[in-house]
Amino acid sequence: MPREKDVKPRGRMTAYAFFVQVCREEHKKKHPEETVVFAEFSKKCAERWKTMSEKEKKRFQEMADKDKKRYDSEMSNYIPPAGEKVRVIMVVYFFWPLLVGATIPI
């Protein structure tokens, strides 16, 4: 289903996210009937990622760089709805003084 033009672009993926996605696809091909326990699967992926060399990770970093360009391009063309700006302004108004140590008059 195509995305609408006024929908905020999907966030960019990291190299690690691409790696996990590829691991999941490989696992599905090797074990199509097996259900995956996410906690175990993510631990195995994390261990594998930590032991990979920079050369092996480069493939996933290139995928992440390409996705970052896609995201930046889509965000440059994205115009947020009017209500979204108001919400950001209200959050800044109410929380900024707390961050800088001031009080808000109510």
* Cβ-based neighbours of 11, under 8 Å, separated by 6 or more: 71
- Residues 22-35: tens digit of each pLDDT: 999 999 999 989 88
| pTM, to two decimals | 0.67
The amino acid at residue 103 is T
As a CATH number, domain 15-79 is: 1.10.30.10
Give 15-73 pLDDT, tens digit per residue.
999 999 999 999 999 998 988 888 999 999 999 999 999 999 999 999 999 999 999 99
Cα–Cα distances in angstroms (integers) from residue 1 to residues 4, 21, 29, 70, 80, in the given order: 9, 21, 25, 19, 21
The Cα 32–Cα 36 span in angstroms is: 10
Q: How many CB atoms lie within 10 A of CB 23?
A: 16
